[in-house]
Amino acid sequence: MIEVTADGKPPILKKDTELSHVSQVHFESMYLGHIPEDVKIHKNAGHIYGFNGCIQELQVNNKEFFIIDEALRGKNIENCHVPWCARHLCHNNGTCISDSENWFCECPRLYSGRMCQFATCENSPCGNGATCVPKSRTDSLCLCPYGRSGLLCTEAVNITQPRFSGTDAFGYTSFLAYSRIPDIGFDYEFHLKFQLANNHSALQNNLIFFTGQKGHGSDSDDFLAVGLREGSVVYTYNLGAGTASISSDPLDLSLGIHTVRLGRFFQMGWLKVKHDHKNKSIVSPGRLVGLNIVSQFYVGGYSEYIPDLLPHGADFKNGFQGKSWIVFTLYLPVSNLETTKTLMSIHLVPKPEIWVAFESDLIKA
């Protein structure tokens, strides 16, 4: 049987009713775009024309191929021009420059960031890798990195229970960044507990955690994101063929700590918030089943926080405000039993790769 579907339309099936002797079939090399001249094809294949265009993704069964990196050889292949700058407008009179694979903003003097969204100091008095933010022509602020505090971020401090402060007036967020989580391509489960800051804005549009592709602005960007919108937990993911999103019932604000479980098995995702009546589930669109990400795992926000740089469906407007505990569990089938292996427990005490703290650490320099 052959099944073909295109552009999200219903599949077309072709069944062969004449079943002859069936044996194991072994294929040789797979060719993409055309066939080399020295390769013989079956006479029933007819005349084969080469493909003219761009191919973004290729998946066979449950394996997704890296089209360029995994190719053994090729001929007459050119870069596919993608109009990145048509989608990304640089802030503060920055100039967008792109090639076939990426884009960046060339920023004017005293501005920085992926989209020139951050104002910078001409002469920074801050130490230990701190970020200097101009408050006025004469005043500036030092935003201290993980483990530093004080007027110029010169004092060492031991953070045992981090507090997330959301997004500040300068566009920065407080966040933790961890190494890429392994083995979440096809299944995972997260156990999440969090305590909200005591203000209305902590519930409106806030990112709790994110991992995935950033900055492409495409509907095919793979990502996993969890956040809060209008008092509910929102769990969103994209496997490359469209966004799947689940929202919980409104949170019970009388509770001090909120408990959430969420996961995915191939295309099927589920969400359960404590005191909800039942699990909520969804199936992602399209036929892709793997989550392809190489980025770090961000909790609370991320270094270049701006909604424009997050994929569609993950563009929460602010960072998380409060405290959070996350346990990530991978389920491994052994025989017919299901065993669990905890790969990572984030209690936000282990030393992360990046830490940025705000509000309480904003000191006039």
| pLDDT band with cut points at 50, 70 and 90 for residue 270 | very high
The pLDDT tens digits of the residues spanning 200-218 come to: 778 889 999 999 876 555 6
Q: Can you give the pLDDT at residue 305? A: 64
Q: What's the predicted TM-score (pTM) here?
A: 0.66
**Across the chain, what does the average pLDDT equal?**
78
pLDDT-derived band at 15, boundaries 50, 70, 90: low
* Per-residue pLDDT at 226: 95
- What is d(CA 290, CA 74) in angstroms, rounded to the nearest whole number? 26
pLDDT, position 9: 60
Residues near 72 by beta carbon (within 8 Å), at least 6 away in sequence? 29
Over residues 130-139, mean pLDDT: 84
Of 182-186, 312-316, 356-360, where does mean pLDDT reach its minimum? 356-360
Please state the rounded mean pLDDT for residues 315-325: 84
Residue 223: both structure tokens together: 């990502």
Ranges of CATH 2.10.25.10 domains, the chain: 84-162
Instruction: State residue 317's pLDDT score.
Output: 85
> What does the pLDDT look like over 70-104, one tens digit per residue?
888 888 888 777 677 876 678 899 999 887 667 78
Poorest-pLDDT segment among 15-19, 193-197, 325-329, 334-338: 334-338
Residue 358: per-residue pLDDT: 31
Q: How many angstroms separate the Cα of 90 from the Cα of each of 85, 135, 213? A: 9, 22, 19
CB 220 within 8 A of CB 238: yes
CATH class of 84-162: mainly beta
**355 pLDDT more than 70:** no
pLDDT at residue 18, rounded to an integer: 57
For the cut 70, the answer to whether the pLDDT of residue 278 exceeds it is: yes
Q: Where in the chain is the domain with CATH 2.60.120.200?
A: 173-350
- Cβ burial, residue 184 (10 Å; 0-12/13-18/19+): buried
| Residue, of 309 and 10, whose pLDDT is higher | 309
Q: Is the pLDDT of residue 291 over 70?
A: yes
Banded pLDDT at 10 (limits 50, 70, 90):
low
Alpha carbon of 274 to those of 163, 193, 209, 250, 257: distances in Å? Answer: 23, 10, 19, 11, 10
pLDDT at 338: 36
Q: How confident is the model at residue 114 (pLDDT cuts 50, 70, 90)?
A: confident
Instruction: Answer whether residue 52 shows pLDDT above 50.
Output: yes
- At residue 101, the pLDDT reads 64
**CB distance 149 to 142 below 8 Å:** no
Q: Which of the listed CATH numbers 3.30.70.260, 2.60.120.200, 2.70.150.10, 2.40.30.130 matches domain 173-350?
A: 2.60.120.200
So what's the pLDDT on residue 266? 93
Examine the pLDDT at 261 and tell me if it is beyond 90: yes
Say if residue 356's pLDDT is above 50: no
Instruction: Round to whole Å and give the CA distance between 92 and 192.
Output: 38
Residue 157 above 70 pLDDT? yes
Rounded to whole angstroms, the Cα distance separating 98 from 184 reads 31
Q: What is the pLDDT of residue 95?
A: 93
For the segment 135-157, the average pLDDT, to the nearest whole number, is: 86
Element (H, E) at 299: strand 297-299
Percent of the chain with pLDDT over 70: 76
